[in-house]
Structures are given as structure tokens and as C-alpha cells.
């Protein structure tokens, strides 16, 4: 749950880097919350509930995606590949699944080294 809340605390922060765990845990919680809201919305007769949630987390979702691309050493503008049907989503999936660049890059220090046991 902390991964989800940490991303929400950085609501519109597009600079820096996001670890693979941060991105995927945020995505997992988004999917779970969306499914729960889908059922709750249908149960109470308000089917727009998941759409309202999607709009509310749109900016942090884009921001964590851009930071994830930065972590792999790519520009955040590549996030726009998602606008290309089928192919763009597959390319982004490959980028998001890739490992971090181990060294410091133009977007900041490696978050594995900053957040990891060496920082303690």
C-alpha cells in the first residue's frame, strides 16, 4: 500500500526515476481499486464511479510511467507511444518491464541505491 500512496504523494512529479516495483505495485492497486469500484458502482446504480476514479488518478499514472521510463534511461516523451494502437502498448510494456540503468543518469541517481539497504 505504501507504493501506491508514495505515487499519490508525487501526484504530478514528472522528474526523477521510479523503480520497477513502484510502477507495478501502483498499477496493481489501480486495477484492484478499479474492479472494486466497478462492482460497487453497479451495486449502487452509479456506473460512473470507476470512470471518476480513472480521471482522478490519470495524472499520477502518467507521472509514474514517465518516471519509470526515466529509470530505464529513456525520455518520458516515449510515453506517447501508448497512443499507437497495439504496437505502442507492447513497446511500452517492454520498456516498463526492463531493469533500471544501474548508474546515475540525466534523470537522477538510481533509486535502488538511494532506497535500498546501502542508504540505511
For the stretch 81-109, pLDDT in tens is 999 998 999 999 999 999 888 888 888 88
Count, residues in the chain: 120
pLDDT tens digits for range 52-91: 999 999 999 999 999 999 999 999 999 999 999 989 999 9
Domains in the chain: boundaries: 2-115
Element spanning 57, H or E: none
Average pLDDT, the chain: 90
Element spanning 68, H or E: helix 58-71
pTM exceeds 0.85 for this model? yes
Residue-level pLDDT at 3? 86
Q: Coil, strand or helix: which one is 100?
A: coil
Amino acid at each position: 500500500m505504501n507504493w501506491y500512496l508514495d505515487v499519490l504523494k508525487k501526484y504530478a512529479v514528472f522528474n526523477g526515476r521510479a523503480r520497477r516495483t513502484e510502477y507495478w505495485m501502483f498499477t496493481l492497486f489501480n486495477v484492484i481499486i478499479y474492479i472494486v469500484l466497478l462492482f460497487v458502482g453497479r451495486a449502487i446504480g452509479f456506473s460512473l464511479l470507476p470512470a471518476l476514479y480513472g480521471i482522478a488518478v490519470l495524472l499520477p499514472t502518467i507521472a509514474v510511467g514517465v518516471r519509470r521510463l526515466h529509470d530505464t534511461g529513456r525520455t518520458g516523451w516515449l510515453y506517447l507511444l501508448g497512443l499507437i494502437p497495439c504496437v505502442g502498448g507492447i513497446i511500452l510494456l517492454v520498456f516498463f518491464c526492463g531493469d533500471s540503468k544501474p548508474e546515475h543518469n540525466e534523470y537522477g541517481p538510481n533509486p535502488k541505491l538511494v532506497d535500498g539497504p546501502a542508504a540505511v
